[in-house]
């Protein structure tokens, strides 16, 4: 009789509002949405929630981003597809909350890995880093080896509880919203090289048993990713 109480995510509320405006013919196919800054002000939402909503709308096929020119209504309201994908997106974790959690958890894990990593651990982290560098032009592969890199750091901390947390975080990074946002960021020409350099700095700190340096480099990297996801595109 009773249902589990759920709080609908802010970005999914924005998606529903945009969809309803299309259904009411207040937003028509081909129309450009206002800039994200203006939309955030009108909706009383944060830039992160709006960025998540725009990505969800793209995944649902309702809007499209036209190469830095802004976001446009496509008007795709295929009810069967929409409802199925909408439910999947509702079940996902917020990408910016994931990133917030990663900054808290992975920063300390990197510091611990710098103290406890074995030669085998160092070799595994290095192998993931090399694979990422070799696949910089293949974004899906680069993202997968990025994920593997962080899992190997979690393993190198030699703490079963922390590794379980690392693996959980890595698993939710497979979500459609996170992948959509990250692929956009990796597609910006300067970003793949930058991310590889940041990973290299993390690796060197762990290899050199520089615990403080490893924590700092990990935090800086994740913070940089967050700024990129929030600020680099979408007008």
Are 71 and 103 found together in one domain?
Answer: no
CA nearest to 113, candidates 22, 228, 226, 202: 202
Give the range of the structural domain holding residue 15, as residue numbers without chain letter. 10-91
Q: Is residue 216 part of a domain?
A: yes
- Average pLDDT (76-104) is 87
Q: What is the pLDDT of residue 235?
A: 45
- The verdict on 135 and 214 lying in the same domain is yes
Query: Would 57 be classed as within a structural domain?
Result: yes
Segment 89-95 mean pLDDT = 93
What's the pLDDT at 142? Answer: 96
Decide if pLDDT at 174 tops 50: yes
Q: What is the pLDDT of residue 147?
A: 97
In CATH, what number is assigned to the domain containing residue 211? 1.20.120.530
Rounded mean pLDDT, 166-192: 94
Burial 83-113 (b: 16+ CB within 10 A, else e): eebbeebeebebbbebbebbbebbbbbbbbb
Task: Give me the pLDDT at residue 21, please.
Answer: 86
pLDDT tens, 207-217? Answer: 999 999 999 99
pLDDT at 47 over 70: yes
R_g of the chain computed on alpha carbons: 20
pLDDT for residue 199: 98
Residue 157 and residue 103 share a domain: yes
Averaged pLDDT for residues 154-183: 96
Q: Are residues 113 and 44 in the same domain?
A: no
Q: Helix, strand or coil for residue 2? A: coil
At residue 234 the predicted structure's pLDDT band, cuts being 50, 70 and 90, is very low
Mean pLDDT confidence for 85-105: 93
Q: Are 219 and 103 in contact (CB under 8 A)?
A: yes
Structure tokens at 69: 């020119």
Residues with Cβ within 8 Å of residue 53, at least 6 apart in sequence: 10, 11, 12, 14, 15, 18, 45
Residue 66 has a pLDDT of 81
- Let me know if residue 3 belongs to a domain: no
Whether residues 104 and 220 fall in one domain: yes
Residue 233 has pLDDT above 80, yes or no: no
Q: Is the pLDDT of residue 77 over 70?
A: no
Q: Round the average pLDDT of the chain to a whole number and report it.
A: 90
- How many other CB atoms are found less than 10 A from the CB of residue 182? 23
Length of the chain measured in residues: 235
pTM recorded for the entire structure: 0.88
Q: Which of 7-11, 81-85, 120-124 has the highest mean pLDDT?
A: 120-124
Would 1 be classed as within a structural domain? no
Structural domain tally of the chain?
2
28 and 82 part of one domain: yes
More confident residue, 19 or 204: 204
Among 222, 235, 211, CA closest to 117: 211
Domain-ending residue, one of 91, 106, 128: 91
Q: Do 112 and 28 share a domain, yes or no?
A: no
Of 21-30, 66-75, 82-91, 197-206, the poorest mean pLDDT is in: 66-75
Among 91, 112, 136, the domain boundary falls at 91
In the block, tokens 């103290």 appear at 115
Q: What is the pLDDT of residue 2?
A: 37
């Amino acid at each position: 009789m009773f249902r589990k109480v759920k709080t609908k995510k802010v970005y999914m509320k924005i998606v529903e509002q945009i969809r309803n405006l299309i259904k009411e013919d207040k937003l028509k196919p081909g129309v450009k949405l206002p800039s994200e800054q203006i939309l955030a002000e009108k909706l009383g939402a944060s830039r992160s929630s709006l960025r998540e909503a725009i990505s969800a709308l793209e995944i649902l096929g309702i809007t499209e981003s036209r190469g830095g020119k802004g976001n446009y209504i496509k008007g795709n309201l295929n009810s069967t597809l929409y409802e199925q994908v909408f439910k999947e997106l509702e079940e996902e974790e917020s990408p910016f909350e994931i990133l917030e959690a990663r900054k808290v958890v992975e920063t300390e894990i990197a510091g611990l890995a710098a103290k406890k990593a074995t030669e085998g651990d160092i070799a595994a982290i290095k192998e993931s880093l090399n694979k990422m560098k070799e696949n910089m032009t293949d974004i899906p592969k680069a993202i997968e080896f990025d994920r593997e890199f962080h899992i190997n750091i979690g393993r190198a901390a030699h703490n079963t509880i922390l590794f379980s947390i690392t693996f959980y975080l890595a698993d939710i990074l497979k979500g459609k919203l996170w992948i959509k946002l990250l692929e956009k960021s990796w597609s910006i020409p300067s970003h793949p090289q930058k991310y590889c350099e940041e990973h290299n700095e993390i690796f060197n700190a762990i290899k050199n048993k520089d615990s403080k340096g490893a924590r700092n480099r990990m935090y800086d990297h994740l913070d940089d990713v967050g700024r990129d996801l929030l600020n680099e595109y979408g007008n």
